[in-house]
Amino acid sequence: MKRMKKWQGIVSLIVIIAIIAGLGFYATTIVKGTNEQNDDSLKLGLDLAGGVSITYQAVGNYTDEEMEDTVYKLQQRVDSELGENSSTEGTVYRVGNDRIAVEVPGVKDANELLEQLGSPGDLYFIRHLNDNGDENYSWGNSGYELNYSIEELQASGDVVLEGTDVSSAVATYEKDQTTNAQKPIVQLSLNSSGTEAFAEATRAAFNNNEDTIAIYYDGQFVSVPSVSAEITNGEAIINGMEDYEAAQSLASFIRIGGLHVQLEELESRVVGATLGSDALSTAFLAAVIGLLIVMVFMIVMYRLPGLAAAIALAIYSVIMVAILYLYDIALSLSGIAGIILSIGMAVDANVIIFARIREEIATGKSVAESIESGFKKALSAILDGNITTLIAAAVLGGLGSGMVKGFATTLAIGVILSMFTALVITRWIMRSLYAVGLTDEKFYGRAKKVNVINFMGKKKVFFAASLLVICVGLVSIGAHSASGYGLNYSLEFLGGTSTTVNFEKEYSLAEIDSDIVPLVSQITGDNDIQASKVDDGTGIIFKTRSLALEEREALNAMFNEKFGVTEDKISSENITATIGGEMRRQSIIAVIVAAILMLLYIWFRFKDLRFASSAIIALIHDVLVVLALYAVARISVGSAFVACMLTVIGYSVNDTIVIFDRIRENMHGMLKRDEEAYAQMANESITQTLSRSISTSITTAVMVLMLLILGVSTIREFALPLLVGVICGTYSSICIATELWYVMKVKIGARKK
Backbone angles phi, psi at 358, to 5 degrees: -65, -40
Map residue 265 onto helix, strand or coil: strand
* CATH code for the structural domain at 51-112: 3.30.70.3400
Environment class of 692 (CB within 10 Å of its CB; exposed 0-12, middle 13-18, buried 19+): buried
- Report CA 178 to chain centroid distance, whole Å: 45
Q: What span, in angstroms and rounded, lies between the C-alpha atoms of 222 and 207? A: 24
Rg (Cα) of the chain, in Å, rounded? Answer: 30
Maximum C-alpha span of the chain: 97
Smallest CA-to-CA distance from 35 within 342, 271, 287, 339 is with 287
Indicate the DSSP class of residue 274: S
Please give the distance of CA 203 from its chain centroid, rounded to a whole number: 46
- Would you say the CATH fold of 456-477+581-747 matches that of 123-258? no
Q: SS in 3 state form for 490-545?
A: CHHHHCEEEEEEECCCCCCHHHHHHHHHHHHHHHHCCCCCEEEEECCCCEEEEEEC
Decide if 520 contacts 602 (C-beta within 8 A). no
Q: Residue 255: enclosing H or E segment and its boundaries?
A: helix 244-256
CATH assignment of 6-39+276-443, among 3.40.50.620, 1.10.1040.10, 1.10.3720.10, 1.20.1640.10: 1.20.1640.10
220-223 and 213-217: which strand pairing?
antiparallel
CA 224/CA 138 separation, integer angstroms? 11
| Cβ within 8 Å of residue 242, ≥6 positions away | none
Residue pair 169/186 in contact (Cβ under 8 Å)? The answer is: yes
Please name which of 326, 271, 316 lies closest in space to residue 295, comparing C-alpha atoms.
Answer: 316
d(CA 96, CA 552): 16
Which CATH code is given to the segment(s) 496-575?
3.30.70.100
Element at 436 (helix H, strand E) = none
DSSP 8-class letter at 567:
G
User: What is 80-116 written as a DSSP string?
Assistant: HHHHHHH----EEEEETTTEEEEEEET---HHHHHHH
| C-alpha separations of 188 from 122, 126, 256, 659, 703 in Å | 17, 16, 13, 50, 48
Q: How many CB atoms lie within 10 A of CB 555?
A: 23
Domain spans in the chain, listed from the N-terminal domain onward:
6-39+276-443, 51-112, 123-258, 456-477+581-747, 496-575
> Percentage helix, strand, coil, to 5, in the chain?
65, 15, 25
8 A C-beta contact, residue 409 and residue 397: yes
Give the full edge-to-edge strand order of the sheet including 99-105: 262-271, 51-59, 99-105, 91-95, 570-575, 496-502, 539-544, 530-533
Alpha-helix runs per DSSP H in 269-366: 276-326, 333-362
End-to-end Cα distance, the chain? 39
Classify residue 85 by burial, with Cβ atoms within 10 Å: 0-12, 13-18, 19+. exposed
Of residues 361, 381, 385, the one with CA closest to residue 303: 361
Return the H-helix or E-strand segment holding 172. strand 166-175
d(CA 407, CA 547): 31
Amino acid at 694: I
Which pLDDT does position 465 carry in this prediction?
A: 95
Cα separation, 449 vs 543, in Å, equals 58
Mean pLDDT (10-residue bins), the chain, 753 residues: 77 87 77 60 64 79 77 71 51 79 71 64 85 89 88 90 82 79 85 86 88 84 86 84 80 72 71 56 76 88 89 87 78 69 76 87 89 88 83 74 68 86 90 89 83 92 95 92 79 78 84 86 80 74 83 90 88 67 64 80 85 90 91 79 73 82 84 85 91 83 82 70 88 93 81 45
What is the rounded CA–CA span in Å between residue 688 and residue 26?
41
The topology (CATH level 3) of 456-477+581-747 is Multidrug efflux transporter AcrB transmembrane fold (1.20.1640)
Query: Under DSSP, is residue 222 helix (H, G, I), strand (E, B) or coil?
Result: strand
HEC secondary structure over 595-624:
HHHHHHHHHHHHCCHHHHHHHHHHHHHHHH
Instruction: Quote the DSSP letter at residue 135.
Output: B
CA distances from 580 to 94, 98, 168, 492, 639 (A): 9, 16, 22, 8, 11
In order, the DSSP letters of 2-28 are: PPPPHHHHHHHHHHHHHHHHHHHHHHH
> H or E segment at 138?
strand 137-140
Question: Looking at domain 123-258, which CATH architecture does it have?
Answer: 2-Layer Sandwich (3.30)
Name the pTM for this structure.
Answer: 0.65
The per-residue b/e assignment along 363-381, b for 16 or more CB within 10 angstroms, e otherwise, is eebebeebbbbbbebbbeb
* Residue 109 burial by Cβ neighbours in a 10 Å radius (0-12, 13-18, 19+): exposed
Give the ranges where 574-674 is alpha helix by DSSP (H): 581-606, 609-633, 639-667
Cα angle at 34 between 32 and 38, to 5 degrees? Answer: 95
